[in-house]
Amino acid sequence: MTLPCYCHPTSGKSAGAPTLPQRVAYSLPSLANCHMTTSFEPIALVTGATSGIGKVTAQQLARQGYHVVLLARNADKAARTRQEIQPEAWPGRRVDVLLCDLSDLNQVRRAAEEFNQRYARLDVLVNNAGLVFGNERETSASGPEMTLTTNHLGPFLLTSLLLPKLQQSPAARIVNVASMAYQFAKPDFATLDVAGSYSPMRAYANSKLFNIMFTQELARRLRERGIHNVSTNSLHPGVVASNFGSNSTWLTRAFYKVAAPFMTSSEDGAQTSIYLATAPEVAQTSGGYFVKQRPEAVKSGFNTPDNAQRLWQESERLVGQPFFQE
C-alpha cells in the first residue's frame, strides 16, 4: 500500500493534522540483530560528528555494524573522536575522517570528491551539523550569510554531490537534523536571508525551516525522477544540552547554560536520528518530519509548494549548480 505524502500543505495555510509521509520501495536489512559474519558493510557519513548528538549518532551506527565516516571541521577533534569510536565498531569495520567546513562550499566540493573517490557507495547520510552564530551578521567564505551556508547550503550541496553514491545503495537514507525552532522562521524567499533586521536566532530558525522544506522537496523530486531507492526524512532532536550555541551571543550562551539542567541529553537527542537511519519500520518512509520518533505535521505558513520551489531554485543559484547532475 502506498501512503500519502505530506511534502507540503495543499495551500498557503499551515498544515493541519499530521499526514503520513510517502513510502518508497526498498529497505536495507536491519543490522542490530545480524551476525558478525554478514558480508554487507553499510557505509554511513555523519556531519558534525565530533560532539553532541552527531557524535552519539556516529557511535551508535558504528556499534550497529556501519562503516562510519566522520565529517568534521577540526582535525584534532575528529582524530580523538575516531579513536573513541573505533574500538566500539564491529571487527574489520573502520571509522574514517573526512575534513570539511560546511560554511565553505569549495571545501564541501573537495570533501565530496574525496568521498566519491574513496567509497563505492553511501547507505546513510546524516546531515547533523548546525550552528547559531553571533549577534552581528557574518558572511561565509562562499559569500552568503554564515548561518544559511553552514546549516542549509552546505548540506544541500553535499547531498547533491553524494547523491550518485547514495543511488548505488540498495536503499539509502538521508537524515536531516532540523529543529522545532522552524516555527519562529521569518525568511525572505527572494534572498533566503532574514527578513528585516538581522537576528542570530531568526537566522537559525530560518535555516531549520529550510532543512525541513529541502527534505520534503527532495523526497518529491526523487519520486518524480523514479529514484525509489533513496529516502529522506527530517527531525527535531529536542532541546539538547551540548555545546550548541557556543558561537552565538552571550545572551544565547547564558540561556543555554541556565537551561541546561532541564534539557535532554545528547544520547536522548540522537535517538530520532538513529531511528530514521536504521529502523526497519521507516525504511519505506520519505518526506517526513519526526519528533520523538513519530511523524508530525509541519505547522508553518511558509511551507507551501511555491515557496519550496523558490527555496530549491535559490539554493541552486547560491551553490552555483543544479542539484541533480543530469
275 included as an active-site residue: no
Q: Kindly provide the b/e burial profile for residues 24-47, where b requires at least 16 CB atoms within 10 angstroms of the residue's own CB.
A: beebbeebeeeeeeeeeebbbbbb
Output the CA angle 52-99-135, nearest 5 degrees: 55
Placement of cell 547507505 in the chain: 123
The set of residues, in sequence order, having a beta carbon less than 8 Å from that of 268 and lying 6+ positions away, is: 238, 240
Position 83, amino acid: Q
- Distance between CA 8 and CA 19 in Å, rounded? 10
Among candidate residues 96, 158, 100, 99, the one with its CA nearest the CA of residue 126: 158
DSSP-derived 3-state class of residue 23: strand
| Catalytic entry in 182, 198, 275, 289 | 198
The set of residues, in sequence order, having a beta carbon less than 8 Å from that of 198 and lying 6+ positions away, is: 136, 137
Q: Are 42 and 69 contacting, i.e. CB atoms less than 8 angstroms apart?
A: no
The set of residues, in sequence order, having a beta carbon less than 8 Å from that of 304 and lying 6+ positions away, is: 8, 9, 11, 12
CA distances from 84 to 53, 89, 127 (A): 15, 10, 21
**Strands across the sheet containing 67-72:** 95-99, 67-72, 43-47, 124-127, 172-177, 230-236, 289-291, 294-295
For the annotated catalytic residues, the residue numbers are: 198
